[in-house]
Amino acid sequence: MSGPLAPPAARPAAASALAGTLSMLDPAIARILDRALEGQELSPAEGTTLFRAQGVALLALMLVADELRRRTVGDLVTYVTVRNVNFTNVCTVGCHFCAFSRPPGAPDAECLSPEEVAAKAAEAWHAGCTELCVQGGLNPALDARYYVDLVAAIKRRAPAIHLHAFSPFEVVYAAHKARRSVADWLRALRDAGLDSMPGTAAEIFDPAVRRIIAPRKMSAKQWAAVVKTAHRLGIPTTATIMYGHVDQPEHWAAHLALLRGVQRETGGFTELVPLGFVHYGAPLYLAGAARPGPTGLEDVKMHAVARLMLDRDIQNVQVSWVKLGPKLAQLCLNAGANDFGGTLMEERISSAAGASHGQHMPPPEFRRLIRDLGRTPAQRSTAYEILRIFEGED
């Protein structure tokens, strides 16, 4: 089966139950949740208010987010079969939240050749993966041609696999090395076989926060310009937010509003992926300059508020099970999220920072966790086409 499913119509009983719940709340929060249920746009200020919800207000936020999710995308919970490949851990940017990167010449520095990555792509395809996600550090030893050769080599060995590769920062770095514009460089990657891009390197768009966590990284304006260019060239991307370090609720709401604006302009985001800060090995935390990641309640709020602020524009909200853990991911799937993410098969960046939830989850485990919620699992493509719905037990 292919193509998205039409979401079900609103249920009068559910609407009545929600109305009763909203009547118990602080009037200001009740008005915001009412507006969301009516399909009205929430402002960053309203999003900030919801991020500070506690007690029964938080429960009401979860209920409203879950109802909007059901109305917009239905009761399927999707996942994608994907292998992650980090082609190099060498990077000179020095982001203060990153525990993955290594300086040039480090004993554990790594850099894979295009042929080595292509072999992993072929292995992934034969193992049932439909997507290969490829990212790496900004390695000064790699010339611009490496990136095009990498794409071409992957497509030679696994022509049917969907290649999801290179953050906006990697694109800018390689374009600069090639002495070409970002648009020209994206065309070259697209023509070599790039299918879509991860929207990483977004972190938090607030300039003051970025100066603390990643002072040498591209600005929010540059990030938005790259993804808009990609979208206009027919290269879809994900959207991300990395939260729970030195940021605050007002930064989160403003970030979501900026993503919403980009989507209305270009329509190229396939999903939002909230990424909680993993603190254990992060230099920022070890130096005492950041808190130890988001709380569990903040994780729930992030997915719920994202649903309310983005529902009409970015319909898919993904849980990062590597960062959340499977059980908290299940809770977020009852608070506005609808996608369980990818099987991953070799995730290394979160695990390098100290995430303890593994590097691979087999599809049957995804389906078990989804059925635990009373929902129906479905395998999807990177572009959210439904490939197979799993009715009943495997």
Neighbours of 59 (CB within 10 A): 15
pLDDT in tens, 274-314: 999 999 889 999 999 999 999 999 999 999 999 999 999 99
Taking alpha carbons only, the member of 83, 55, 70 closest to residue 348 is: 83
- What is the CATH T-level fold of the domain 73-389, as seen in this structure? TIM Barrel (3.20.20)
The confidence score (pLDDT) of residue 10 equals: 54
Residues 5, 387 contacting (CB under 8 angstroms): no
Q: What is the pTM of this model?
A: 0.92
Per-residue pLDDT of the chain in tens (394 residues, 90 and over written 9): 444 444 555 555 555 666 667 778 889 999 999 999 999 999 999 999 999 999 999 999 999 999 999 999 999 999 999 999 999 999 999 998 998 889 999 999 999 999 999 999 999 999 999 999 999 999 999 999 999 999 999 999 999 999 999 999 999 999 999 999 999 999 999 999 999 999 999 999 999 999 999 999 999 999 999 999 999 999 999 999 999 999 999 999 999 999 999 999 999 999 999 999 999 889 999 999 999 999 999 999 999 999 999 999 999 999 999 999 999 999 999 999 999 999 987 644 444 444 444 567 999 999 999 999 999 999 999 999 999 999 988 7
What residue ranges do the domains of the chain occupy?
73-389
C-alpha 17/C-alpha 360 separation (Å) is 39
- Side chain identity, residue 234: G
Query: pLDDT tens, 18-37?
Result: 666 777 888 999 999 999 99
User: Which residue in 299, 236, 312 sits closest to 270, CA to CA?
Assistant: 236
Which residue is listed with tokens 């972190």?
Answer: 203
Between helices 182-192 and 145-157, what is the axis angle to 10°?
A: 20
Q: Rounded distance, CA 20 to CA 199, Å?
A: 39
